[in-house]
Amino acid sequence: MIEPVQLPSPWQDARLTVVVPTYNEAGNLPTLVERLLALPLPGLRILVVDDNSPDGTGDVADKLAIEHPARIEVVHRAGKEGLGRAYVDGLGRAIEGGAEYVAQMDADLSHPPEALPGMLGALISTQASVVIGSRYVPGGELDENWPLYRRALSGWANLYVHTLLRVRIRDLTAGFKVWRADALRDIGLDRVQSNGYSFQVEMHYLATKLGHTILEVPIRFEERQEGLSKMTTATKVESALMPFRLRSKHRNITR
């Protein structure tokens, strides 16, 4: 586990909301919350967006919110509508709640929370609109236990999207990011149509088309310890078709 960067004041006091979508993550959420709240970021808040998880993740989140009422908020959605819809809901609520910066990360502990202070510092100290925790820039790593077929799928997906959309990002499918709230307002969450994992690609494409600067910093991506991957055949099909839809829908996008 890496040691989190100690940011100088007033950077460490920035209003940062971490949006965490959940579906059957009862075994991982308490550990993630503990690690997030241990970071030297007193302005950090957590927004859990739960899609009515059958394993009781929503109840776990509610208990954590009671224990930390000033730092954790829980949004309960009626059912599983897809990662993209959960993120659109959560990012929008974070902005409405007054966040200056908004992070997005998975609940399965694949993204190291300890990297967040460094990512926030990189965002504040540059003109970037978003900082991506990247697996595929120099210094980035994949857990050696990550299955070979997942490595192949991830690599192929990035190559496929690069070829079709010509977006100059090495980790186009990355889900660990810190955004400036103003950048999210400019992109317009109402423009986002993706339901599944292609949400990540659509957000990167929109940011690029609108001229936003995107910075990638290396992280170590860990294999999940609890629960199962949410990747389904339907999400794979959507992800395969999405680049064609994006080229058509957002070709002439303007502010």
Stretch 21-32: mean pLDDT: 97
What pLDDT, on the 0 to 100 scale, is given for residue 143? 75
How far is 238 from 254, CA to CA, in rounded Å? 25
Stretch 181-193: mean pLDDT: 94
- The reply to whether 132 falls in a domain is yes
Report in angstroms the alpha-carbon separations of 175 from 7, 122, 196, 252. Answer: 23, 17, 12, 26
- The reply to whether 20 falls in a domain is yes
- The reply to whether 2 falls in a domain is no
How far is 132 from 123, CA to CA, in rounded Å? 10
Tokens found for residue 103: 């992070």
Is the pLDDT confidence value at 252 over 70?
no
Tokens found for residue 50: 């739960």
Stretch 137-143: mean pLDDT: 88
Is the pLDDT confidence value at 41 over 80?
yes
How far is 161 from 157, CA to CA, in rounded Å? 6
Nearest to 24 by CA among 175, 228, 171: 228
Q: 222-237, pLDDT tens digit by residue?
A: 876 665 555 554 555 5
Average pLDDT value for the chain: 87
Classify the phi-psi angles of 196: left when phi > 0, otherwise alpha if psi is within -120 to 50, otherwise beta: beta
User: Where residue 56 sits, what CATH number does that domain have?
Assistant: 3.90.550.10
Stretch 250-254: mean pLDDT: 66
Please tell me the least confidently modeled range out of 14-23, 107-116, 148-157, 177-186: 148-157
Stretch 5-23: mean pLDDT: 96
- The reply to whether 255 falls in a domain is no
At 255, the pLDDT band (50, 70, 90 cuts) reads low
For residue 134, the number of C-alpha atoms closer than 13 Å in the C-beta half-sphere is 20
What pLDDT, on the 0 to 100 scale, is given for residue 58? 97
- The reply to whether 97 falls in a domain is yes
What pLDDT, on the 0 to 100 scale, is given for residue 250? 62
- The reply to whether 84 falls in a domain is yes
- The reply to whether 24 falls in a domain is yes
At 131, the pLDDT band (50, 70, 90 cuts) reads very high
What pLDDT, on the 0 to 100 scale, is given for residue 30? 98
> Domain containing 113: what range?
11-250
Tokens found for residue 151: 């490595």
Is the pLDDT confidence value at 194 over 90?
no
Stretch 146-157: mean pLDDT: 67
255 or 15, higher pLDDT: 15
154 or 85, higher pLDDT: 85
For the stretch 4-7, contacts whose Cβ atoms lie closer than 8 Å and that sit 24 or more positions apart, written own/partner, are 4/39, 4/40, 4/114, 4/115, 4/116, 4/117, 4/118, 5/117, 5/118, 5/121, 6/40, 6/117, 7/40, 7/41, 7/117, 7/120, 7/121
* Count of domains forming the chain: 1
At 21, the pLDDT band (50, 70, 90 cuts) reads very high
Nearest to 47 by CA among 111, 92, 83, 110: 92
| Per-position b or e across 43-66, b if 16+ CB within 10 A of its CB | bbbbbbbbbebeeebbebbbebbe
Q: What percent of the chain has pLDDT over 90?
A: 63
Report in angstroms the alpha-carbon separations of 176 from 90, 136, 153. Answer: 14, 13, 18
- The reply to whether 33 falls in a domain is yes
How far is 142 from 144, CA to CA, in rounded Å? 6
